[in-house]
Amino acid sequence: MAMKSKTAKQKIKKPWGGRFSGGTSQAVEAFSESISFDKRLWKYDIEGSIAHAGMLGKQGIIPKKDAKLIVKGLMRIATRIAEGGFVFREELEDIHMNIEAALIEETGEAGKKLHTARSRNDQVALDLRLYLRSEVKETIGLVGGLKAALVDLAQRHREIIMPGYTHLQRAQPVLLAHHLLAYAEMMDRDAERLLESLKRINVLPLGACALAGTSLPIDRLYVAELLGFDAVSANSMDSVSDRDFVLEFLSDAAILMMHLSRLSEEVVLWSTEEFSFIGLPDAFATGSSIMPQKKNPDVAELARGKTGRVYGNLMGMLTVMKALPLTYNRDLQEDKELLFDTVDTVKSVLDVLAQMLPVINFRTERLEETAGEGFSTATDMAEYLVKKGMPFREAHGVVGRAVLYASQKGKRLEDISLDEYKGLFSGLFDKDVFQVLSPRASVAAKKSLGGTAPSEVARRMAAHKKEKEKKKKDKKGK
Ligand code: ARG
């Protein structure tokens, strides 16, 4: 039996309904609507419309009194939305038409003039830029918060030594603070990337109209000034058809989440019985529904896992954009859910990690104890021989043989006697060799710029703190 497609009840006339004699299929309405998710742009849509109406009035494109009525009407609508008294209608497709229709209901003839010299194509690009500008700033703040938690944690554990790893095998002793501050450096670069992207986000697309600009005497520079944009887009076709600013954020977010997933992975590893480096407080762990003894690091696992959707959103958006001909295509509506999901995900992960880090309980004895295991100061012994005049490659071989000898005897390097060192390995050994073998001496000696010596780590920590103070001052000064 052939199905007849149902058409929606045309209670509300579509703003674009003029050239149509029939209604839209209900299936199409449900399929193409974006109001269910783009309603979160309402504040920016209204902010943009207020600036646009002001410009139309100033330019004499619409009467000044109409511009005033529009602005007042939009403000009333904003209050209604904020208070939850606004009904969003699917048949009006998206946030732009929902608000415009409400404005016309509210102000009559005046409201019908708002969409002069504007298209939803430049309007949606504007809303998205305003939204992202605000979210990027908030995300930068959250990255700063997580960084502050890392610096604080490093400061509190500045004396503690732990094993540093390569290939997940114990490699050389390092300061726990040095390890934590490695993530602080990553957070700095993530914040910097986001900050730099603002330059490209903060460009006004409005005035591009559908794709070609307009014959009406608009003043785009004025709108840019009202909305706090640094620049006005230079090409109307580019303005409505590209979303590279969204892609840039999704890329920056993917890199940021990659960093957070590494930190999370270490929290997971360190909390295992096998590592036993940290304990998680009850508030940040969860249990098992069957195994009564379990205490699981679910927060870190979820943070690690959510990296997948953030990568996915980037790939999704790259794929939406790929080979899209100029200019606007409805495909672009797919940008929003991907962007919103990444914004929400990244913010929630940053927030929860910043809350969890300060309450992680480091098992400092275990960290110190394991720092010296696994011949972790063998490189220090090789550098000792270098200082006595032996070429490094030769010293590497000598110490390698000493490690083999000690491990076969089930001993540590410091348990081999000076006579054995001298007789079996090299005449350059002296009793001062034993001084370089402790993890604390090893760490203290790594004074090269950016190394793990307490003096170097303290220098970097001070720089982080100074920077934070400076940011605080700059914020106050503004
Ligand atoms: N909801 C649309 C979007 O998100 C707004 C722009 C619609 N433009 C159009 N020509 N249908 O992209």
Extract the residue ranges of the chain whose pLDDT is less than 70: 1-12, 478
The pLDDT of residue 21 is 79
Distance 240 CA to ligand 1 centre (A): 10
The pLDDT of residue 25 is 87
Tell me the domain boundaries of the chain: 28-116, 121-369, 378-437
Q: Is the CB of 34 under 6 A from ligand 1?
A: yes
The pLDDT of residue 310 is 98
The pLDDT of residue 477 is 76
Q: Is the CB of 123 under 6 A from ligand 1?
A: no
| Residues labelled as active-site residues | 167, 288
Q: What is the pLDDT of residues 213-236, one digit of tens each?
A: 999 999 999 999 999 999 999 999
CATH class of the region 28-116: mainly alpha
Could you identify the atom of ligand 1 that is nearest to the CA of residue 336? 4
Distance 44 CA to ligand 1 centre (A): 15
The pLDDT of residue 446 is 97
The pLDDT of residue 218 is 98
Distance 130 CA to ligand 1 centre (A): 16
The pLDDT of residue 41 is 98
In this chain, the answer to whether the domains covering 121-369 and 378-437 adopt an identical fold is: no
The pLDDT of residue 3 is 47
The pLDDT of residue 478 is 67
Q: Which of 99, 86, 112 is nearest to 46 (CA)?
A: 99
Domain 378-437 sits in CATH at 1.10.40.30
Residue whose CB lies within 8 A of the most ligand 1 atoms, among 121, 127, 339, for a mutation test: 121
**Domain 121-369 CATH assignment equals 1.10.10.410:** no
The pLDDT of residue 2 is 45
